[in-house]
Structure 1
Amino acid sequence: MSTDPILIWGAGAIGGTLGAYWARAGVPVLMVDIVPEHVEACRTDGLAIAGPVEEFRQVVPAVTPAELTGSYSRIVLAVKAGATEAALAALKPHLAADGFVLSAQNGLNEIAIAKAVGESRTMGCFVNFGADWHGPGEILYGNRGAVVVGEIDGTVTERARAMHRLLALFEPDAILTDNIWGYLWGKLAYGAMLFGTALTNDSMSANFADPQRLPVWLALGREVGAVAAARGVKSLGFGGFDPMVFAPGAPEAPQVATIAWLADYTSKTAKTHSGIWRDLAVRKRRTEGQPQIGIISTLGRKVGVATPALETLVALIRDIEEGRRPMAFETLKVLIDRCRSVSTTA
């Protein structure tokens, strides 16, 4: 196994949590983040992990991009999807010739990473634990969740086995897979729904439990399922969430039951709202809407699958970002009406 530090590019909710756990376990880690105050807190007083899972503070070596020197054989990319290309341009000079970039992000960022550094230097990762960056040196670890790693070409390599062992230090139930795309597409169905819940200030659980909003979750799940099927992907789930219930032609009853499971699942975490909601309501910044959800529509067009609900959702998120619509039920109602009109004409 490599002896150089694991370079974590992006020390927010995902990267910071991984970094704190690895550093506590004695794994050499170096985190890179663009927020100087966060970097300083992590390397001096330490990064505080809080929440119901575990609470501890861990000093983690950290630098800003301008302070970074050297090359690294393992780079964990953990920035927001929209920052992927800029981060890749900055980290590429620091990637060792025989190294790889692992995407610990939401969405299909492996596509962009492979384009930038090559498919052989790209590793896929699916993360579904709940965490939020609350400020310099502070992360809420709201709930454990699935962690899966695998090569994007479906092979099982020694480097993937090594990363699986490292990820198991954080999540003992971490999985090594030969179908990482299946997990990534499976989460996209759930991820699209989380974007929908961010259109209002209601909790994730309240959104999933409301019968009036059910047409939205069904439409989003079905559109992601249709694009995945057309691309030949066998989507894989987590917990009680099976994305294959949304496959083309699948019956509605299991789909409704899956949404009911999501209402229950999201009611049991300290992270009551999605990171998307936090971006909009608290941090007042752009979300990952276009790079994470918009890409599904782009890929859908390539295989002849229409995605009207997803396109409407991305447009509504953009309206909120730019101040044209409020975070309120009236905004979600636009999507509800769109999904109902699609279902009646389908």
Structure 2
Amino acid sequence: MKERILIWGAGAIGGTVGAWLVRAGYDVSFVDIVPEHVDAIRAPSRGLTITGPVDEFTVHAPAFLPADVNGEWSRIFLAVKAHHTRDACEALLPHLAADGYVLSLQNGLCEQVIAQIVGARRTVGAFVNFGADWIKPGEILYGNRGAVVVGEIDGSETPRIRTLFEDIKHFEPDAILTDDIFSYLWGKLAYGSLLFAQAVGELGIADCLERPELLPLWRAIAGEVLRVAQAERVKPRGFNGFDPAAFQPGATDAAARDSVAAMVAFNRPNAKTHSGIWRDLAVRKRRTEVDMQIKPVVDLGRKHGIACVKLDALCRMIHEIENGERSLSDRNLNELLDA
């Protein structure tokens, strides 16, 4: 019998992965803070519907608000926004079995925060780059497949990580099992810095990256992340067109241009045209994950004596948009270029 799984955060990432596992026969329950979303998932007449070009289907599963959860689970997949990690972990802790674990299906270095609360032994890492958007209660757009990687945070190969790897392949058949999950997470931080930049403008990911005059900006922003990663003794890995070596100090314009072209080619056909960060700012009008993804890199850079000028300016710009002090505009990217 397959172990039960609790998905804590049934939005774009958690809802998509969870729906696939429900369809594969797993005993999945969902937790979310949006009452209308919870009601839709558990309603016999509605359920959780996945739409988009990858596949379309509806599943039904138990769903709860955090205050209504009862019982323990050996496996909890955490998929809340990065800045809600600490609060979510404190809420789920009473429901985590002593021999269980929390899997972070999040962006950023959330595994470090999770380990502080549930313990490193009960923390498992993951890296995801598929495209999905929460559309409305009970509906998620799965726009495109992307890289999915899982691994123990200490790099060991354990029976539980082998089991998890086989389970997650029901969702992504090309998933990867790694002994260095942080190399992927730092790679995503570097690529993600470009998505945070895209979010301050109006163009979609592919169109934004393709602006030739912004190549120096892409090199500078990703390069700052990679310099900090090097100081942290991490060698970031690439995925889906993003080649970290092309943005390292000493790399050529041609190498960066080739990687940008590959990222454009990956993103161009996707139904998900804009980043989740852009949707937070433009559609959902809520705070982004910038203080959990980009600001920590700036802070680590300061600790190592590395000035992250572009990243710091990007953080300030996003806060201005969040606070209603600045509008989304492609001109913002030109301002960043000159920062």
TM-score by length of 2: 0.97
State the secondary structure of the residue aligned to 2:184: helix
- The question of 1:38 aligning with 2:37 is answered yes
Tell me by how many angstroms 1:4 deviates.
4.1
Tell me by how many angstroms 1:311 deviates.
0.8
Note if contact 2:240-2:263 (Cα within 8 Å) is conserved in structure 1.
Answer: no
Tell me by how many angstroms 1:3 deviates.
4.6
Mapping of 1:207-286 within 5 angstroms? 207-286=208-287
State the secondary structure of the residue aligned to 2:142: strand
Mapped partners of 1:170, 1:305: distance in 2: 39
Q: 1:116-173: CA deviations, max 9, x gaps? A: 1111111100000000000100000000011100011111111111111111000000
Note if contact 1:148-1:174 (Cα within 8 Å) is conserved in structure 2.
Answer: yes
- The question of 1:301 aligning with 2:318 is answered no
Question: What percent of counterpart residues are identical?
Answer: 56
State the secondary structure of the residue aligned to 1:101: strand
State the secondary structure of the residue aligned to 2:102: strand
1:95 maps to amino acid: L
Q: Which moved more, 1:11-20 or 1:39-48?
A: 39-48
Q: 1:8-29: CA deviations, max 9, x gaps? A: 1000000000110000010111
1:183 alignment partner in structure 2: 184
Mapped partners of 1:102, 1:245: distance in 2: 31
Tell me by how many angstroms 1:67 deviates.
1.0
2:145 alignment partner in structure 1: 144
Tell me by how many angstroms 1:236 deviates.
0.9
1:234 maps to amino acid: K
Q: 1:29-57: CA deviations, max 9, x gaps? A: 11100011101111111111000111111
Mapped partners of 1:267, 1:252: distance in 2: 22
Tell me by how many angstroms 1:5 deviates.
1.5
Mapped partners of 2:121, 2:110: distance in 1: 15
Q: Count how many residue pairs are aligned between Structure 1 and Structure 2.
A: 337
2:159 alignment partner in structure 1: 158
Note if contact 1:130-1:145 (Cα within 8 Å) is conserved in structure 2.
Answer: yes
Note if contact 2:93-2:118 (Cα within 8 Å) is conserved in structure 1.
Answer: yes
Mapped partners of 1:325, 1:242: distance in 2: 32
2:205 alignment partner in structure 1: 204
Mapped partners of 2:169, 2:199: distance in 1: 31
Tell me by how many angstroms 1:265 deviates.
1.6
Q: 1:264-316: CA deviations, max 9, x gaps? A: 22111000111111111110111111111111112222222221111110110
Note if contact 1:218-1:256 (Cα within 8 Å) is conserved in structure 2.
Answer: no
Mapping of 1:2-17 within 5 angstroms? 3-17=2-16
State the secondary structure of the residue aligned to 2:294: helix
Q: Which moved more, 1:279-288 or 1:324-333?
A: 324-333
Q: Which runs of 5+ in 1 are unaligned?
A: 339-346
Note if contact 1:150-1:176 (Cα within 8 Å) is conserved in structure 2.
Answer: yes
State the secondary structure of the residue aligned to 2:94: helix
Mapped partners of 1:92, 1:249: distance in 2: 46
Mapping of 1:315-334 within 5 angstroms? 315-334=316-335
- The question of 1:67 aligning with 2:68 is answered yes
Note if contact 2:241-2:260 (Cα within 8 Å) is conserved in structure 1.
Answer: no
Mapped partners of 1:314, 1:322: distance in 2: 12
Note if contact 1:7-1:74 (Cα within 8 Å) is conserved in structure 2.
Answer: yes
State the secondary structure of the residue aligned to 2:169: helix
Mapped partners of 2:103, 2:141: distance in 1: 23
Q: 1:302-336: CA deviations, max 9, x gaps? A: 22222111111011000000011110123222211
- The question of 1:112 aligning with 2:109 is answered no
1:84 maps to amino acid: T
